[in-house]
Amino acid sequence: MKRLITPACLVVVCLLVLAEVAARVFFAQDISGRFDYGYNPQAGFAEPADGTVELFRAGGRRFHPQTFKRHRPPGTFRIFVVGDSVPRGPSFRTAYPWFLGDELRRHDIAAESINLAVPGYGPRRCQVVLKKIMEYEPSLIVLHINDTNKWEDEREWRRSQEFKGWHPRHWLMKVFIFRRLYEAKLEKVFWPLVPEAIRLKYAVNDADAQVAAGQDPREIAARIRLAKETAAENVAMLRQQHIPLILVTQCRLAEDPRHGLYLSDHGLDPLGKTLVGPGVFHISMQEVFSRTDFRSHFANFGGHLHKEGHQVLAHAIWEKIELEQAALGLPGAKVAVAGRPPDPPIMAPDPHPASLNPSPGGRASRFQDSGQ
């Protein structure tokens, strides 16, 4: 009688076990949240025992690496920027959150400006990040509103729900290598290698479905509706926690055969304006860049900006912060607003009891980064 388990089979199993252990030990950060696809609140956040928070490029959420204190230092104005690839920028130091922090510090404001933007994140996954960072005592949150990533959010949600639980039929997909191969089948990496007969049997692949969704009028209407609903939920949530919010409605380049290039907000600006109220402010990228030679500031039709465009947006947000400094509890700036003398200096809200002394000079060290 033949043996059911041959030496060759044992070798293969052992190699798979070793590969899985090595991946989870030596590439733990890359695997962290990898198959939650952005829906694991903790992915990309590490909280060592020294009281700091480290943002890292996790498999499920590839933040720019940055470090800040879990508890906001007294007298520090802490800004979190949440959004997609537009605020993430070409690199860490050429994105507007970096320029915004520099602008605040040039006006003698102890500030942290932390970039939490992740490419491809739509309203749902941005909301997951938003709920998480409320733990870290923000002075202000800058939230980008865009309607183009709904399809990616829904696709990644479906993926995150696949193979949940430990039913025997899910066991194979608990192995990192097999799960990645399964993913590749849905993506362009592996799809061209599949025989045409099989491709036709499955009709379309992941990328084809994304293009089709982007051209479907019903899908376009649905993603705008989702942007509105999620933005309203976010505003209500932050108001309840008394956290100030700046909504940035994005725009992108569009082209008309008769009039050439122009800026389109896809109907997002009216949404941002309707949400303005106590503690909630609005900035329209369309309005900001319509006052400039916008063609030189945009990198493509998707709304991505060159470095100079990020500098323009950083300055526009600083002007909004300066104008609303009393509502934000911000120290008075040296520069007058609209010809008025600057308000008397006041300290930023203290997140700790008065018995805790601020650091010497009242200034906070810059948050650290470890990569572009």
Give the model's pLDDT for residue 247: 97
Give the model's pLDDT for residue 20: 62
The model's confidence at residue 215, banded by pLDDT at 50, 70 and 90, is low
The whole-chain average pLDDT of the chain stands at 79
Distance of CA 23 to the CA centre of its chain: 26
Of 104, 108, 124, 126, nearest in space to 116 by CA: 126
Mean pLDDT of 69-88: 96
Res. 71: pLDDT tops 80: yes
Q: Which residues, other chains included, contact 371 with Cβ-Cβ below 8 Å and sequence gap of 6+?
A: 57, 64, 65, 92
Give the model's pLDDT for residue 37: 76
Give the model's pLDDT for residue 6: 78
Residue 75 lies in a domain: yes
**Residue 96: domain span:** 45-151+216-336+343-351
Residue 3 lies in a domain: no
Mean pLDDT of 91-113: 95
7-11, 35-39, 54-58, 313-317: which is most confident: 313-317
> What does the pLDDT look like over 300-358, one tens digit per residue?
988 999 999 999 999 999 999 999 999 998 755 443 333 333 444 434 444 444 333 33
38-42, 103-107, 171-175, 217-221: which range is least confident on average?
171-175
Res. 218: pLDDT tops 90: no
Mean pLDDT of 228-255: 95
Residue 229 lies in a domain: yes
Mean pLDDT of 127-143: 97
Residue 50 lies in a domain: yes
Number of domains making up the chain: 1
- Do residues 247 and 231 lie in contact, with contact meaning Cβ atoms separated by under 8 Å? yes
The model's confidence at residue 222, banded by pLDDT at 50, 70 and 90, is confident
The model's confidence at residue 17, banded by pLDDT at 50, 70 and 90, is confident
CA torsion angle for 16, 17, 22, 25 (degrees, to 10)? 140
Res. 86: pLDDT tops 60: yes
Residue 80 lies in a domain: yes
3-12, 19-28, 236-245: which is most confident: 236-245
Q: Which residues, other chains included, contact 49 with Cβ-Cβ below 8 Å and sequence gap of 6+?
A: none
Residue 7 lies in a domain: no
Give the model's pLDDT for residue 359: 37
> What does the pLDDT look like over 252-288, one tens digit per residue?
999 888 878 999 998 899 999 999 999 999 999 999 9
- Residue for token digits 């932050």? 238
Residue 202 lies in a domain: no
C-alpha dihedral sign at 171, 176, 180, 181: negative
CATH number (domain holding residue 299): 3.40.50.1110
Residue 159 lies in a domain: no
> What does the pLDDT look like over 186-209, one tens digit per residue?
555 444 555 555 544 444 445 455
